[in-house]
């Protein structure tokens, strides 16, 4: 068997094929992990959209004060709390036009969450940007809430949101800059 420069030996081709196969498996595993993380975030966004939409729809059939009371009970917020009093007063003073405005805003918010969830499920970059920006917008409010009162619920919400924002930052800002730096080095 003659060895030439253009035709590598069979053992070399086999090693090259094995190395390519391992690299492909590693990339697909990495891609599967990325997709699984994005779909987890998508599920959370979908759940938020469903919760807000359900609350909006319930406002149509149920007295807004009852909805706020149930919401406060669910979050274990005392009705004596200033925020609870403010929400209960707002719910009590809702006119029909204001009620429809609240329902419309809640439906728009839910539509944004559903759109974001669908985009994240399909690993679309625009959805990752929406998740990064919207998640980062909530961080100051969550920190203020924790500064006021530390509860396991608020700590959990902050930590989950921080994880989502950090991961989206990693995908949308860190990785592209890293690949750009790597391409300039070559």
pLDDT digit string, tens, across residues 51-100: 999 988 887 788 888 878 888 888 788 888 888 888 888 888 877 788 88
Owner of token pair 């070559």? 186
**127 lies in the same domain as 117:** no
Sequence length of the chain is: 186
**54 lies in the same domain as 111:** yes
Q: Which residues contact 41 (CB under 8 A, 6 or more apart)?
A: 120, 131, 164, 167, 168
Taking the C-alpha atoms of residue 181 and residue 108, their distance in angstroms, rounded to an integer, is 40
Q: Is-contact 35 123, C-beta < 8 A?
A: yes
What are the pLDDT digits (tens) for 26-44? 558 888 899 999 999 999 9
Residue 122, phi then psi, degrees to nearest 5: -95, 10
**88 lies in the same domain as 132:** no
For the question of whether the overall pTM of this predicted structure is more than 0.75, the answer is no
CB neighbourhood size of 174 (10 A): 11
Last residue of a domain, one of 121, 145, 162: 121
**114 lies in the same domain as 146:** no
């Amino acid at each position: 068997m003659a060895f030439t420069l253009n035709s590598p030996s069979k053992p070399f081709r086999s090693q090259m094929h094995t190395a390519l196969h391992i690299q492909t498996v590693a990339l697909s595993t990495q891609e599967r992990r990325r997709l699984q993380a994005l779909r987890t975030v998508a599920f959370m966004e979908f759940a938020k959209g469903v919760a807000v939409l359900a609350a909006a729809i319930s406002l149509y059939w149920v007295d807004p004060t009852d909805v706020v009371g149930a919401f406060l009970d669910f979050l274990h917020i005392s009705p004596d709390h200033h925020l609870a009093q403010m929400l209960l007063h707002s719910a009590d003073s809702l006119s029909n036009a204001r009620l429809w405005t609240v329902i419309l805003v809640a439906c728009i918010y839910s539509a944004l969450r559903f759109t974001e969830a669908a985009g994240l499920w399909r690993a679309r970059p625009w959805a990752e940007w929406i998740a990064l920006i919207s998640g980062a917008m909530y961080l100051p409010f969550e920190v203020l809430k924790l500064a006021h009162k530390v509860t396991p619920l608020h700590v959990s919400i902050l930590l989950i949101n921080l994880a989502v924002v950090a991961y989206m930052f990693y995908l949308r800002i860190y990785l592209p800059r890293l690949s750009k730096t790597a391409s300039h080095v070559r």
